[in-house]
Amino acid sequence: MLWAIFTLIAAAAQTVRNAMQRELTATLGTVGATHVRFLFGFPFAILFLAGVLIVTGQGWPSTPAMFWPWVVFGAVTQIAATATMLSVMGERSFVVAYAYIKTEPVQVAIFGLIFLGDHVTPMLAAAVVIATAGVILISLKPGAGKTTTTRSTVIGLGSGALFALSAIGYRGAILSLGHPHFVLSATYTLAVGLVMQAAMLSLYLWLRDPPVLRAIARAWRPSLFAGFMGAFASEFWFLAFAIATAASVRTLALVEVLFAQAVTHFWFKQPTTPREIGGVVLVVFGVLLLVWSY
């Protein structure tokens, strides 16, 4: 059950990182805020890799040819998924789009079965569907239907699919290494992925929108923290992907919504509605079913 501990740590760190990115979107724009997690994250990923090599005493992993298509696929789809999600955060239809984004675990289970042959047991499938239904119930506020548009539906489902494909790409890259030390495989894949993403987005902004790069440089203090939290969260996501199916990891990751509900209720003193309580019960039941299936 080590994968579950890794996932819970990653989900908590991602909650912090998402909050930082939302604030940066106002000053840096969608692409700029997306770039922050990669540009300021890859140095920390390299430090993580150096630490793992030193502590484990392992040699540099040999990289088979199949590693590169998987890691490039994971890197590109993650950039697209993050940018797509940030692009709708300020819109009235974001609540609806967010609910559709959270269909990611269902899509991960399907893609994992197709591309990696990850086995989906009946109990795991039930856990994925129940927990996802709970998150959607929590996310769809009263009156959200009034803001439902074809665009929000397409963006939400598309972003969820991209996040799902990214998880599959990175898990495929980790498994393709075939290294006996899963920590090294996960950390190496993370470092390579973040370096690629930082290079791709830096080149794009240098060619298309150089002022954004200057704005990122000026906002280096909050960007540095967001980058660290992004790399820290990703490290634990990758560790979990190395030893469990992507569907299991991304379903348990839905506890992130429970963290947000807890902060809203206990910190901001906002009441919890019966609908939200029902959604929480479904998420908890789905997660318990998931853990029990192991």
User: Comparing C-alpha atoms, which of 245, 240, 254 is closest to residue 103?
Assistant: 254
Helices of type H across the chain: 2-39, 42-56, 67-87, 94-101, 104-111, 122-139, 150-177, 182-208, 210-218, 220-243, 246-252, 255-262, 274-292
Q: Model pTM?
A: 0.90
Count of residues in the chain: 294
**106: phi then psi, degrees, rounded to nearest 5:** -65, -45
- 179: alpha, beta or left? (left if phi > 0; alpha if psi -120 to 50): beta
Say what the pLDDT of residue 27 is. Answer: 84
- Asked whether 256 and 14 are in contact (CB, 8 A), the reply is yes
How many other CB atoms are found less than 10 A from the CB of residue 220?
13
Write out the two tokens for 97: 């789009």
Q: Give the span between the Cα atoms of 95 and 110, in whole angstroms.
A: 24
Say what the pLDDT of residue 85 is. Answer: 79
Say what the pLDDT of residue 143 is. Answer: 60
Q: Give the span between the Cα atoms of 292 and 237, in whole angstroms.
A: 21
- Asked whether 155 and 80 are in contact (CB, 8 A), the reply is no
Q: 83-128: per-residue pLDDT in tens?
A: 787 777 656 556 677 778 888 999 999 999 999 999 989 999 999 9
Q: Give the span between the Cα atoms of 253 and 267, in whole angstroms.
A: 22
Say what the pLDDT of residue 48 is. Answer: 97
| Torsion angle of the four alpha carbons 75, 78, 79, 84, in this order, in degrees rounded to the nearest 10 | 160
- Asked whether 48 and 191 are in contact (CB, 8 A), the reply is yes
- Asked whether 48 and 187 are in contact (CB, 8 A), the reply is yes
Our count of domains for the chain comes to 1
Could you give the 3-state DSSP secondary structure of residue 189? Answer: helix
- Asked whether 51 and 238 are in contact (CB, 8 A), the reply is no
Q: Give the span between the Cα atoms of 152 and 94, in whole angstroms.
A: 7
Say what the pLDDT of residue 196 is. Answer: 97
Say what the pLDDT of residue 211 is. Answer: 93
Write out the two tokens for 281: 């019960």
The segments of the chain whose pLDDT lies below 50 read: none
Say what the pLDDT of residue 90 is. Answer: 59
| Torsion angle of the four alpha carbons 2, 237, 70, 208, in this order, in degrees rounded to the nearest 10 | -170
Half-sphere exposure of 139 (CA within 13 A, CB side): 22
Tell me which residue range forms the domain holding 270: 2-292
Say what the pLDDT of residue 258 is. Answer: 79
